Structure 1
Amino acid sequence: MVNSEINLPKQAYVNKFVPKSKFYERTHLSSRLQKEFTGKIQRITWKYKLAEETVGITKTEAVTEIQIFELELKAQEIPERILKVIDKAIPYQILYKFVYNGSVAWGITLKQGNKAENYYFSEWDAPLHFDFTGIDLEKVYQKLVRAFIGADSAANRNFGELVANDAARKQLESEIIALNRRMKREKQFNRKVDLNKVLLAKKQQLEYIKQELSG
């Protein structure tokens, strides 16, 4: 499949290798996490910096810069624990590009300051369209998150509401999986009927939220 491309001015291009030791120093990693860092990450490259001076878009109090990092991986597995370390060390919103053996995936942090509240990831080699335009960097960042949520058709919807709906969608999907497992294990007919009622209600809630997300 065609991978997403980054279309940014040359002033935003950094392409600077970042030693993994920098994150050890800043976050005082345990030996276990250091081992995970070296075992899962081949190379970290700071690819782009979106800031007032590089893209000419005004910063806000919530989003002063957006960084784009490329992580070359040693396995086709997104290392979320390591991303939390990187996000703790760097007080900016980060768009991640993951590369493994010619395949590409993307991720972004839902972040306040140094605290990563959630992560969004694409499938491997799934094309995404990133829109780097906006009246300020916060709006640019929100557009990037929307690309992962798949809410392009709901572009005028409140960003906080979209994020909350997406979190509710993920929660319901997890609950539906758990209920299906319980139903398979349940031996009593009456209990199975009760579980099925709950399952149907959860599925209806999920369809409603999916409609909300699609605008």
Structure 2
Amino acid sequence: MSDLLYRWPATAEFGARVSKEKVYEHGNVQTAVREKFVSEVRRITWAYKLAEATIHLPGTDAVPEIQVFRIEAKGADVSDPVLNAIDKAIPSPIVFEISRSQGDVELVRMAAAHKQLSSGAPRLSAYYSTGWLPANTRRQPLPTAIALPALYTALLDPLTPVAARPGENVSEVAARLETVRKLEREIAALERKLRTEPQLNRKIELRRTLKTKQATLDSLR
């Protein structure tokens, strides 16, 4: 994971305020999540629209556009259920920039999930994020890409614990991320068992399984 912020193209600036009610309307938001919107979110801005018309990169059915949403937090942060509700309300991938005030300093973090569009509700991976950075951090140019799907993969690449492989598309990266998360949970469970297992032969078996799963995890990363 890299701590960076992108310099979004001026040609893609959208700057539309998004009301919480619109998200509720389009995202089928449950009461508990609405309460999080009220307590956590001060303002939502649809800041940029990365599309063929704005940055001259063609889209596809999988990635027709990429949106950049800025969320101003009331308190220390904005939780993943809020991001998830917004993601489900918008029919294209989103990169979030979340800001908060800490004394006289404004901090920003970038967050996103791998989003796969379908005829029904989009499929979303877990959310990945940079650390908190000063708002005046020098921003980096967008990654070089020839189409929006490649740009989307490249934008999310620094956020995730796995690097996109050459030619790998968004759904393939998302599937590998899910496998990585599953293996991490299995390895943690095996390590707990190993610490408490009293029988030597069982310990040897657990170590062998643990070593195999760790090697698989390393290869996926």
State the TM-score, normalizing by the size of structure 2: 0.80
Q: Distance in 2 between matches of 1:72 and 1:137?
A: 27
Q: 1:36 to 1:120 in 2, by over 3 A?
A: closer
Q: Which residue does 1:107 correspond to in 2?
A: 111
Q: Which residue does 2:125 correspond to in 1?
A: 118
* Aligned residue type for 1:25: E
Q: Distance in 1 between matches of 2:168 and 2:127?
A: 18
- Secondary structure in structure 1 of the residue aligned to 2:5: coil
Identity %: 30
Shift of 1:133: 4.0
Shift of 1:59: 2.2
Q: 1:174 to 1:54 in 2, by over 3 A?
A: same
Alignment check: 8 A CA contact 1:3 1:104 kept: no
Q: 1:46 to 1:87 in 2, by over 3 A?
A: same
Shift of 1:47: 0.9
Q: Distance in 2 between matches of 1:132 and 1:46?
A: 21
2:168 is matched with which residue: 158, 162, 181? 158
Q: Which residue does 1:189 correspond to in 2?
A: 200
Residues 138-163 of structure 1, C-alpha deviations (whole Å, 9 max, x = no match): 222122232333526x4x24235444
Alignment check: 8 A CA contact 2:52 2:59 kept: yes
Give unmatched runs, 5+ long, in structure 2: none
Looking at secondary structure, tell me which structure has more helix per residue.
Answer: 1
- Secondary structure in structure 2 of the residue aligned to 1:105: strand
Q: Distance in 2 between matches of 1:189 and 1:78?
A: 47
Q: Distance in 1 between matches of 2:3 and 2:89?
A: 32
Shift of 1:115: 0.7
Q: 1:158 to 1:31 in 2, by over 3 A?
A: closer
Q: Which residue does 2:30 correspond to in 1?
A: 30
* Aligned residue type for 1:39: S
